[in-house]
Amino acid sequence: MNWDLYKNFSKSEFDCKHTGKNEMRPEFMQVLQEIRIAYNKPMVINSGYRDKTHPIEAKKSTTGSHPLGCAADISIEGVNAMQLINIAYNIGIRRIGVNQKGGGRFIHLDIADKLHGFPQSIWSY
């Protein structure tokens, strides 16, 4: 993958924190770059690619969107979270997870509906 195409992100931000692997999909990274340009503020990537052996993924009964390389969790809260959700939705993201309580607040964005037939959904953690 040509990481030079995504000027606001680096490969290391999306590496699996368990294995170091990175199999992010260009289709997702292109959409995320579009979101970043529209948002016009830095976006801290909390989690990008996760190998199936990552502790969070290993607990799941079915594969989630992170091991498929089409998801990211972005550290963000409050008004900025709402702004990011609006931008992502307007750009075409139809799978949004919201964690806005306690420490470690983030927004999950993915395109697994387009690439892997996952249902469109908005959920909270």
Structural domain span for residue 71:
11-124
Q: Which two tokens stand for residue 29?
A: 């990274």
Query: pTM here?
Result: 0.95
- SS3 state at 87: helix
- Indicate whether 5 belongs to any domain: no
Find out whether 111 and 93 touch, Cβ atoms under 8 Å: yes
- Indicate whether 27 belongs to any domain: yes
- Indicate whether 38 belongs to any domain: yes
- Helix boundaries (H) for 1-74: 11-14, 26-39, 55-58
Q: pLDDT tens digits, the chain, 125 residues: what are they?
A: 999 999 999 999 999 999 999 999 999 999 999 999 999 999 999 999 999 999 999 899 888 999 999 999 999 999 999 999 999 999 999 999 999 999 999 999 999 999 999 999 999 99
CATH number at residue 62: 3.30.1380.10
- Indicate whether 6 belongs to any domain: no
